[in-house]
Amino acid sequence: MSRDKQGELITVTGPVFGDEGKAKIVDWLAWNNPTVAAVARYQGGDNAGHTVVVGRQEYRFHYVPSGILAAQQKKLMCVLGRGMVVSLPRLFAEIQQLAQLGVEVNPSNLLISQGIHLTLPYHMALERARESGGARKDTTKKAISQTYGFAHLYQGVRAGDIVGDVRRVSQLIDEPLAWANAILTEVYGELRISKQEVMSEIEDHRRRLSPFLHNEIKFLNTCLDKGSSVICEGAQGGMLDVDLGIYPYTTASNTWPAAIQHGCGLDPRRITRQIYVVKAYLTRVGQGPLVSEIPDDDERGKIIRERGHEYGTTTGRPRRVGWFDQIIGRFGRAISPPTELAITKADVLSGLDLRVCVDYKMGGVILSIFPTSMITLQACQPIYQDFTGWDEDITGASCWDDLPSQCQNYLKKAPSCYGAPITMVGTGPERNQIILV
């Protein structure tokens, strides 16, 4: 099949610290693009918290792709790619919670890769033990990194492994369980996890899982080959990428768009639209440097947090708030330039005088490139450019010309570091509060 005839491959990712409002953009595209046949997640697990607001109803997704609302009305498959990690009890609990809200998730609209690695009780026990043993405490406590870690040590159990012969499953967990128990007891002085506990969790879910399992690589590539479009929905953000982010204050997976290759078998060279969802300011959950963080004595940080509801969807933790950072933007542009930008939450900034971080300074030297060394980064100070704000409430504005000139000026200048046109501007939390530029 000629690639000229392929459908659109659209990635929707955040290039900073996550929580940009990706779900709203994915939902919008899934509804409004008639050629979309699939919406796929390709990394992370339920450490993601994606929210779509429809009228007064808020839908929160942790595993299930944000295209699932569109999939209730149109033929569209949501896909969990093999680059994800999944806890089956938590996945089926989410499916049940969505059913209570009238959202049906079943094998006709959710495909789960056979290659997905499973989070099992010993991963959870290790995560708890590590945190109580003094390790980093700002994870979502879902054992995401434990699951990826075991996978890289060839000690993983994949979804496709557990639907077959139960004796083989039992053999498969012997070694990882022995490892986990050795670490639990020897390193942390904790209790062992029994094999029965692990097997009964698997037994409880494997039959239910079976009809969802397919080869997502074949499915997604066939969609594109036949001229249908595929949306890949990123989770977390580029600066949280385990390799390219601010290690060790990262998530455990690769988050930039190219991760669709190992995460669901799509060639990144097929991407036709690489949309970066960029918040009009910065937020960050948990530890790690945030050079443009608004200090506690500046009321504007608190106002932005409250107005923007900047509390974690998964953890409820207050997010740290910072000014828009062009150094981070230039970093994203260098490693994976977007084709377009969706800017969200400019409405939160009404009535405030604004700043944009344009460079970092260290000991009198200006750094115009994002430093990858943690030591350098911790020593950096922000250099700001001030912007006059706007007083008008722009919530629900539906066209660019309705935005005050200061707002237009801010939106043109702050994200210019990405070198891509703005095609969408969010003007409120609700699904339809969006300007198409």
Binding footprint of ligand GDP on the chain (CB under 6 A) = 14, 18-24, 49-51, 53, 313, 344-345, 347-348, 426-429
The least distance separating ligand GDP from the CB of residue 425, rounded to whole angstroms, comes to 7
Calpha distance 172→155 (Å, rounded)? 8
Active-site residue, from 27, 50, 241, 325: 50
Q: Which two tokens stand for residue 348?
A: 């939160």
- Strands of the 213-214 sheet, one edge to the other: 213-214, 110-113, 77-80, 36-41, 229-233, 9-13, 273-279, 340-344, 422-426, 434-436
Q: How far is the CB of 206 from ligand GDP (least distance, A)?
A: 30
Q: Which is nearer to ligand GDP, 21 or 245 (CB)?
A: 21
Nearest to 69 by CA among 82, 81, 57, 83: 57
Q: How far is the CB of 200 from ligand GDP (least distance, A)?
A: 33
Residue 41, H or E segment: strand 36-41
What's the farthest any 2 CA atoms get from each other in the chain?
68
Query: In whole angstroms, how far apart are CA 191 and each of 19, 120, 136, 172?
Result: 36, 16, 21, 21
Question: Six-digit token pair at 434?
Answer: 């969006």
* Closest CB to ligand GDP among residues 179, 400: 400
Residue placing its CB nearer to ligand GDP in the complex, 22 or 300: 22
The yes-or-no answer on residue 50 being catalytic is yes
The residue sitting closest to ligand GDP, measured at its beta carbon, is 426
Structure tokens at 49: 């918290």
Closer to ligand GDP by CB, 13 or 228: give it: 13
Q: Is 19 a catalytic residue?
A: yes
- In sequence order, what are the beta bridge partners of 86? 118
Integer Cα distance of 305 and 171 in angstroms: 49
Shortest distance (Å) from residue 322 CB to ligand GDP: 16
Q: How far is the CB of 140 from ligand GDP (least distance, A)?
A: 12
Spell out where 260-367 has E strands: 273-279, 282-284, 320-322, 324-325, 340-344, 354-362, 365-367
> Which of 24, 305 has the CB closer to ligand GDP?
24
Minimum Å gap between C-beta 300 and ligand GDP is 16
- Pick 336 or 344: Cβ nearer ligand GDP: 344
Q: 62 or 123: whose CB is closer to ligand GDP?
A: 62
- The C-alpha atoms of residue 215 and residue 192 are separated, in whole angstroms, by 35
d(CA 85, CA 68): 19
Beta-carbon contacts of residue 397 (< 8 Å; ≥ 6 apart): 347, 403, 427, 435
Our CB check for ligand GDP shows the closer of 149 and 286 to be: 286
Per the CB < 8 A criterion, the answer to whether 17 and 240 are in contact is yes
CB of 143 to ligand GDP, least distance (A): 20
Query: Considering 19, 27, 161, 241, which one is annotated as catalytic?
Result: 19
Q: Shortest approach of ligand GDP to residue 347 CB, angstroms?
A: 5
Cβ neighbours of residue 227 closer than 8 Å, sequence gap 6 or more: 5, 6, 7, 35
Q: How many residues does the chain have?
A: 437
**Which positions are annotated as active-site residues?**
19, 50
